[in-house]
């Protein structure tokens, strides 16, 4: 019985968070342009799908297209938050950054998050818009860190087996030219 009550509480809390993030999304983006790009008839229809008061609902395919076209994954991240999953957009070739740029971007985002944390600690209340902006910065920082890790892995995995083979070869008594 307690499991059912806890599940209902999770569902209600998740629905409230989903409604809030959909409302924020509609305020922060141009619905007319996005509706056209994802194949909906009008921005009004898209606004209705994002409005919890309307009977129209956002289907998973429309949600995926909407997030991809806008580059804003806050709706998906809100849905996945309790599952311990964060979406990470993979950059296209044009926006690919090198290792140094990723490291500097990480420092910049960390500094902004630290500044926000200091400001939020002394505030009496946290406005929803500020919460969403801070979450967007944190998710951007996570995305950057994942891509930084991916870049490091791609740079080191090709060389590691060769080095490991070489050290094993020498450590097992291989003759070294000039020293044997």
Q: Where is mean pLDDT largest: 38-47, 119-128, 162-171?
A: 38-47
Show the CA angle centred on residue 112, arms to residues 134 and 150, nearest 5°. 85
Which residue did the predictor score with more confidence, 114 or 161?
114
Cα–Cα distance for residue pair 22/62, rounded to 1 Å = 13
Nearest to 143 by CA among 51, 73, 44: 73
Which residue did the predictor score with more confidence, 121 or 177?
121
Nearest to 90 by CA among 134, 149, 50, 47: 149
Instruction: State what percent of residues in the chain have pLDDT above 70.
Output: 77
Which residue did the predictor score with more confidence, 178 or 134?
134
pLDDT at 97 over 90: no
Cα–Cα distance for residue pair 127/75, rounded to 1 Å = 18
- Name which of 28-32, 73-77, 161-165 the model is least confident about: 161-165
pLDDT for residue 2? 57
- Give me the mean pLDDT over the 123-142 stretch: 81
pLDDT in tens, 137-177: 887 888 888 888 877 777 766 655 656 666 665 566 655 55
pLDDT for residue 102? 86
Backbone angles phi, psi at 82, to 5 degrees: -75, -10
Contacts 24+ apart (CB under 8 A), 33-40: 34/66, 34/69, 34/70, 37/69, 38/62, 38/65, 38/66, 38/69, 39/65
Instruction: State what percent of residues in the chain have pLDDT above 90.
Output: 18
pLDDT for residue 6? 57
The string of DSSP codes covering 91-139 is PPGGG---HHHHHHHHHHHHHHHHHHHHHHHH-S---HHHHHHHHHHHH
- Name which of 102-106, 112-116, 171-175 the model is least confident about: 171-175
pLDDT for residue 1? 47
Contact 28, 72 (CB under 8 A): yes
Domain boundaries, the chain: 2-83, 93-161
Contact 97, 145 (CB under 8 A): no
* Token pair listed for 76: 């998906």
- Give me the mean pLDDT over the 69-78 stretch: 87
């Amino acid at each position: 019985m307690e499991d059912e009550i806890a599940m209902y509480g999770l569902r209600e809390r998740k629905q409230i968070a989903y409604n809030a993030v959909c409302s924020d999304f509609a305020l922060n983006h141009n619905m007319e342009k996005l509706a056209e790009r994802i194949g909906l008839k009008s921005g009004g229809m898209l606004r209705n799908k994002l409005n919890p008061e309307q009977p129209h609902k956002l289907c998973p395919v429309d949600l995926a297209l909407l997030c991809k076209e806008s580059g804003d994954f806050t709706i998906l991240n809100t849905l996945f938050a309790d599952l311990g999953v964060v979406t990470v957009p993979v950059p296209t070739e044009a926006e690919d950054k090198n290792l140094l740029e990723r490291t500097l971007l990480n420092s910049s985002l960390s500094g902004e998050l630290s500044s926000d944390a200091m400001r939020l600690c002394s505030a009496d209340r946290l406005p929803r818009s500020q919460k969403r902006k801070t979450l967007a910065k944190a998710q951007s920082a996570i995305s950057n860190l994942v891509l930084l890790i991916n870049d490091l892995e791609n740079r080191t995995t090709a060389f590691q087996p060769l080095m490991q083979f070489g050290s094993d070869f020498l450590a097992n008594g291989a003759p070294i030219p000039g020293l044997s």
